[in-house]
A and B are shown apart, each in its own frame.
Chain A
Amino acid sequence: DSGVTQTPKHLITATGQRVTLRCSPRSGDLSVYWYQQSLDQGLQFLIQYYNGEERAKGNILERFSAQQFPDLHSELNLSSLELGDSALYFCASSPDSYEQYFGPGTRLTVT
């Protein structure tokens, strides 16, 4: 158990809908990272927050957004969902940039 929690574990929704994924980092970690993992693309870095501020952006679509709250938990919002957004979404937390601890993931299925 990495100490990172993610909810929900599974999410099934329809195209065009909006969902919110939640992540609670390990105690004391200020950084949160979001990743998307699909079979054909592997693990793709989406975005990083550090102590409430956006620090780095990867291949995140404009339909996706994230934020980190004062209690350091983070949410990833996915809107106007498409079939291709079906994937595993992981968050990771870190005490520094290189030692990342991944949560169990949220499996999103868009039908």
Chain B
Amino acid sequence: QKEVEQDPGPLSVPEGAIVSLNCTYSNSAFQYFMWYRQYSRKGPELLMYTYSSGNKEDGRFTAQVDKSSKYISLFIRDSQPSDSATYLCAMSAPGNQFYFGTGTSLTVIP
């Protein structure tokens, strides 16, 4: 079983839609939870990171962590064509070990 599971998609939505991206994990020792956006052939770009269970909002993006269910989500409101990218969830364990999901490919159609 992989440490982090992420549905690869692809996900295709119309402009303005709310997008929900999700990851599950198996290691209860994970402490920090991150979301990255990666455009084709570019390096991942950090969108948000959270420590505790609950919600964290930044503009159109909301990150949600449920440690009891080992489930994290990223919501994108009012999605734009420029949001079209691959979204990677990532988690860190004690000892600075980092684990990434395989990414969900998102296309926002104008």
Contact = CB atoms under 8 A, between A and B. Distances in A.
A4 B100 contact: no
A56 B96 CA distance: 6
A56 B97 contact: yes
Interface string A79-111: 000000000001010000111111111000000
A99 B46 contact: yes
Interface string A43-62: 11100100000011010000
A46 B43 CA distance: 16
B49 A98 contact: yes
Contacts of B42: 104-105
Interface residues of A, number: 23
Nearest to B8: A42
B32 A45 contact: no
Contact of B100 (A43, A56, A101): A43
A65 interface: no
A92 to B, nearest CB: 8
Given A90-B43, A103-B43, A98 B100 contact: no
15 contacts: A42-B88, A42-B100, A42-B101, A43-B90, A44-B100, A45-B97, A58-B98, A90-B44, A97-B92, A99-B49, A100-B98, A102-B43, A102-B45, A104-B43, A105-B41
Interface of B: 32, 34, 36, 41-46, 49, 88, 90, 92, 95-103
Interface of A: 2, 4, 33, 35, 42-45, 48, 55-56, 58, 90, 92, 97-105
